[in-house]
Amino acid sequence: MGFLNPQNIIYGLSLALLVLIYLRSRSRPTIEVSSLMLFDEAPAPVASVRQVRLDPLFWLEMATLAALTLAIAGLYVMRPPSPGHGRSHALVFDLGAGMSAHDGSGTRLDQARHDALEIIDQAPIGDEFSVIAYALEAQVRHPQTANRADLRKALDDLVPMAVPARTAALRAALIRAHGASEIDLFADRPPAPAILADAASTARVNFHQVGSGDSNLAIVSLDPGIPGSTRGRTVIRNFSARPHPAELAIDLGDAEEFHQTMMLAPREQILASFGPLKTGGLLHARILTADAIDADNSRYAYAPSDVAARVLVLSPDAAVRDDIARVLLAVNSNFQIETADPSKYVPQSNAAAANAKPLELAVMHDCYLPAVKAASTLLIYPPDATKSSPYAAGVGISVSGTIANADIRNDSMGQSPATESLTLGATRIVAIPEWMDLIATAAGPGHPSIPIAAIGRATSGPVGVLAFDVRDHLLLAPDHLDALVLTVDLMKQLTAPRDIFIVATGSDVSVPANGTARVTQPDASVRTIAADKWGRVRIRPLQAGRYTVESGGVTTQVLANYYDAAESDIAAKPQAKVSAPVGKAAALANAQTARQVQPLVFILIALALIALMVESAMLINHAGRWRMRHV
C-alpha cells in the first residue's frame, strides 16, 4: 500500500482536534439540580479523572475523519489487473539525434518502433497504450487508447530530431507516463539508474536498448578564415573504435573549394585547412562517406565579404574605441573603421560624409546618438535615463539603473558556447522589448536575472545590446573570453547578410515577414506561419539543413547546423548499470506479474458514510430515549 499524495496526511490533524474537543467537554461535567433550587449556587464537584472514558460516538467520528484523511491522501494498493479489465501501458521513445543512426537495414528508431509493435500485438485485448516522446522536451504523441490502428499511426509519425536528448526531458516524459501500470522505454543508451528508480516506484519499467554500431563521423567546426588573407579550417572527428575513411568536400556557393579523402585513426580528431578563399559567401562543408548519423555530416558558415564596409565606433573612452576596433578587424579585416568621441561627433559637419557610402554598423559605447544612421546598430553599456533616454522613440530599449557587478549565468539562446560563471564589472539594468531575442542573462545584487545580451530587428534595422561595460580592456582580458565571444557573435550577426541566418538546431529564430510566411523544411515539407505584430515569424529548426522562408516576395534562408559530442558518440555508454529489466524477454516475463495502482478512495468514502449513518442512528436513539434533551 502507499499514498499518491502523502502531503495530504496533514489533514490528519483533524483527529487531534477531535480529541481536544472531547477532553474539553469532559473537563466541564453536567450537574443535575432540583427544580426547587434554580437560583441557588452549588459548587461543581471536584473529581480526579484517572481514565478518560470515550463513548462510541467518539470512535465513530474518529473513524470518519481517518477515512476521509486517507481518501484525500490517495491511499492505494498494488494489485494484479482484474479479469476482463486491460492494463495501462506507456511507450516512451528517445527522439534524439542518436536514434537516427543507421543500424543494419534501418535506423535505431525503426528498431524501437518494431519492438513496440510486438509488445502491442502480444498484449491482451483491452490493454491500453500511450505514446510519449522526448528530445529537447517531452510530448504526449497519443493518449491512452486500445485502438491498435491509432497506435500504429502514432508510431509511424515518430521522427528523430537533430538535437541532443536532454535528461530533463526524459524525466518529464516518465512523469507524463505516471499512472500507467507498465512503462516501456526505448533509447539507444541506458539512462541513469536513479531516473528509472523514480519511475519504478509506481510502475514496472522495462528498458529496451536499441542499436549496437559505433561507426560515425562528424564535422565539429567550420571556420572560413578571411578571404584573400588567412586559410580556412574545419575539424572532423571519428567516433568509431576503428579507423574510418572520411571524404570531405567544401563548397563556396556553387564552386568547389576543397575535396579530399583522409583516414582517421580510432577516436581521432583532425584539422583540415583550405583556402584562402578568394571571395566571401556561403560556405558548406560535407562528409560524403557513409556513416551512422547524417545530421552531423554537414555544416554551414559565412565567409565575410571582401568589400570594404564602413563601421563607426563611438565611445567617450579612447581605450575602449581602440579595443572595439581591434575586435572588429578580427571579425572582418576589410572593415573601414572610424572612431570618435560622441560629444565631438557631428555627422553633418563633414561635407564629404554626405557622399560617402552608408554605414554598415554603428557601435555606440556608453552613448546614444539618434542622428547616426546605419544599417545595424550595436549598443554597448547604453547610458541610463539620467543621461539620455531617447530609446522609447528610437529602438524601444530602456535603462533603469546600474549595478557594480554581475555574473553571467546563461547564454543558451545564443550561438556562442555555454559559459561558466563569469564576473563582469559595471552592468546596466536594461529592459529588452518584445521584438528582441534574449541571448544571455546575468545575476547581480538584488537582481536575479538581468538581460546582458540581446538582438532583434527594429524598424531602422538590426539592433544588438550588450549591457556590461567593456572598460579596462575587458574584451582583451584572457580571463574574460566569454564576454569577448558574446561581443564577436553579436558583431557577426549584425554584419551578416539580411537574407541568411546560420543557427544551431533547436534554437529559436526570428525571421522578418510580411503577413504570412511559407516555410519549406529540409525534408521538402511546407507549412504556413502567420507573422506577429512585430513583423516576424519564429521558427525552431529541429532538423539539420536548409529552411526557406518566403514572405512578401522576399526569400530568407535559415541554415541549421548540428553537432553534439555526447549525442554523436553513439558508442558511448554510462558507467552505471541499469537496474530495470532490459530487452524484450524481460518485458514478456513481467507481463503476467505486472501490478497496477488501485486507489481506495471510493471504499474509504463509503466507510466514512457508513460511520456517519451509524452515528446518526445512535443520536436518534438517544433523542428518543431522553426526549430530545441531549440533541
Compute CA distances 404 → 221, 382, 416, 417, 426, whole Å.
Answer: 37, 15, 25, 26, 4
Measured in Å, how far apart are the chain's first and last C-alpha atoms? Answer: 40
Give 58's contacts (C-beta < 8 A, 6+ positions apart). 18, 22
547 beta partners: 558
pLDDT of residue 384: 75
Q: What is the band of 133 on the pLDDT scale with cuts at 50, 70, 90?
A: very high
274 beta partners: 232
Residues in the chain: 631
pLDDT of residue 417: 39
pLDDT of residue 1: 57
pLDDT at 33 over 70: no
Compute CA distances 81 → 4, 124, 597, whole Å.
Answer: 19, 12, 9
528 beta partners: 518
Closest CA to 513 of 545, 546, 459, 556: 556
379 beta partners: 364, 465
Q: Which residue has the cell 499511426?
A: 153
509 beta partners: 539
pLDDT of residue 406: 86
For the domain made up of 217-305, the CATH class stated in words is mainly beta
- 88-213+570-594 placed in CATH 3.30.70.360: no
Buried b (16+ CB within 10 A) or exposed e, 522-551: beeeeeebebeebbbbebebbbbbbbebbb
pLDDT of residue 414: 40
Average pLDDT over residues 444-455: 87
pLDDT at 435 over 90: no
Helix (H, G, I), strand (E, B) or coil at 73: helix
Domain ranges within the chain, ordered by starting residue: 2-34+44-80+600-625, 88-213+570-594, 217-305, 309-496, 497-569
pLDDT at 416 over 50: no
Question: Using CA atoms, how far apart are residues 565 and 239, in angstroms rounded to an integer?
Answer: 9
Give 248's contacts (C-beta < 8 A, 6+ positions apart). 234, 236, 258, 259, 260, 261, 262, 272, 285, 286, 287, 288
pLDDT of residue 54: 62
Helix (H, G, I), strand (E, B) or coil at 204: strand
Question: Using CA atoms, how far apart are residues 339 and 179, in angstroms rounded to an integer?
Answer: 65
pLDDT: which is higher, 478 or 317 = 317
Give 6's contacts (C-beta < 8 A, 6+ positions apart). 73
pLDDT of residue 586: 43
Average pLDDT over residues 116-145: 92
pLDDT of residue 38: 56
pLDDT at 20 over 90: no
Residues 362-406: pLDDT tens digits? 999 999 888 888 899 999 999 875 544 445 434 578 888 888 888
pLDDT of residue 80: 62
Of these ranges, 180-184, 195-199, 572-576, the one predicted with the greatest mean pLDDT is 180-184
Question: Using CA atoms, how far apart are residues 88 and 79, in angstroms rounded to an integer?
Answer: 13
Residue 148 and residue 566 in contact, taking contact as beta carbons nearer than 8 Å: no
Residue 101 and residue 570 in contact, taking contact as beta carbons nearer than 8 Å: yes
Give the number of other Cβ atoms within 10 Å of residue 457's Cβ: 19
Closest CA to 418 of 286, 539, 565: 565
At the fourth CATH level, which superfamily is domain 309-496? Class I glutamine amidotransferase (GATase) domain (3.40.50.880)
Q: What is the band of 238 on the pLDDT scale with cuts at 50, 70, 90?
A: very high
When the pLDDT of each residue in the chain is averaged and rounded to a whole number, the result is: 82
Name the E strands within 23-74.
none
Average pLDDT over residues 422-445: 86
pLDDT of residue 409: 61
pLDDT of residue 96: 94
pLDDT of residue 400: 85
pLDDT at 523 over 80: yes
Residue 90 and residue 180 in contact, taking contact as beta carbons nearer than 8 Å: yes
pLDDT of residue 86: 64
Give the number of other Cβ atoms within 10 Å of residue 258's Cβ: 18
Average pLDDT over residues 1-8: 67
pLDDT of residue 585: 42
Residue 38 identity: L
pLDDT: which is higher, 91 or 620 = 91
pLDDT of residue 415: 37
Question: Using CA atoms, how far apart are residues 517 and 551, in angstroms rounded to an integer?
Answer: 5
pLDDT of residue 272: 94
Angle between helices 318-331 and 481-495 (to 10 degrees): 60
Residue 493 and residue 462 in contact, taking contact as beta carbons nearer than 8 Å: yes
Of these ranges, 226-230, 314-318, 346-350, 449-453, the one predicted with the greatest mean pLDDT is 314-318
pLDDT of residue 381: 93
pLDDT: which is higher, 148 or 621 = 148
pLDDT at 412 over 90: no
The answer to whether 217-305 and 497-569 have equal CATH topology is yes
Helix (H, G, I), strand (E, B) or coil at 410: strand
pLDDT at 174 over 70: yes
Question: Using CA atoms, how far apart are residues 502 and 236, in angstroms rounded to an integer?
Answer: 19
Closest CA to 301 of 218, 225, 216, 378: 225
Average pLDDT over residues 295-320: 90
Residue 328 and residue 363 in contact, taking contact as beta carbons nearer than 8 Å: yes
pLDDT of residue 268: 93
Question: Using CA atoms, how far apart are residues 224 and 432, in angstroms rounded to an integer?
Answer: 33
The dihedral sign for the CA sequence 542, 155, 157, 199: negative
**Whole-structure pTM over 0.85, yes or no?**
no
Question: Using CA atoms, how far apart are residues 114 and 543, in angstroms rounded to an integer?
Answer: 23
pLDDT at 572 over 90: no
Q: Kindly report the three-state secondary structure assignment for every residue of 325-370.
A: HHHHHHHCCCEEEEEECCCCCCHHHCHHHHHCCCEEEEEEECCCCC
When the candidates are 2.60.40, 3.30.1490, 3.30.1150, 3.40.50, the CATH number that belongs to 497-569 is: 2.60.40
Closest CA to 532 of 437, 391, 394, 454: 437
Q: Which residue has the cell 495501462?
A: 88
Residues 529-548: pLDDT tens digits? 999 888 889 999 999 999 99
